[in-house]
Structure 1
Amino acid sequence: MTRNLSKPGEKPQKSGEYIEVGPQGGQVSNPRRVTIEQGDSPFPPTQKPNRRWERIGPPHKKGKSK
């Protein structure tokens, strides 16, 4: 299975939860997590150069308070 890794500054292909990974998709310590929604701006910068963003699931919905 091919992993879809995105570079910082690229436009997201699909909305979802993304986690920061190493250059080849490996785990990193204290990774950033971001939620990307349809129409959002490009991926934010990573904590270190050469890291990528990997989609880990659908976007989390924010609950409405009553």
Structure 2
Amino acid sequence: MTNKPTLRPGNRTPVSGQYPVVGPRGGETGQEVTSVEGRPLPPTPKPGQGYGKPDVTRHKK
């Protein structure tokens, strides 16, 4: 299953969760990062990579 990058490093995180790192063509890398809503996404390990759809963190507000 391909998961095209929907977010780039430096973009603001829309919702808190674990974001998979995906290659330029959408291939899975097996890595993921945890990011908090409103914070910028961290740099990816290699150029051209981005972030796919998140596994949303569930928490009480």
- Corresponding residue pairs, total: 57
For structure 1, the residue ranges without an aligned partner over 5 or more in a row are 62-66
Give the alignment of 1:1-66 within 5 angstroms.
5-28=6-29, 30-31=30-31, 33-39=32-38, 41-59=39-57
SS in 2 for 1:6: coil
Scaled by the length of structure 1, the TM-score of the pair is 0.65
- How far apart, CA to CA, are the structure 1 residues paired with 2:8 and 2:15? 14
Q: Name segments (4+ residues, structure 1) moved above 4 Å.
A: none
> 1:56: how far off?
3.5
- How far apart, CA to CA, are the structure 1 residues paired with 2:6 and 2:41? 11
Residues 23, 6 of structure 1: CA spacing in aligned structure 2 closer, same or farther, 3 A cutoff? same
> 1:4: how far off?
6.0
Residues 37, 49 of structure 1: CA spacing in aligned structure 2 closer, same or farther, 3 A cutoff? same
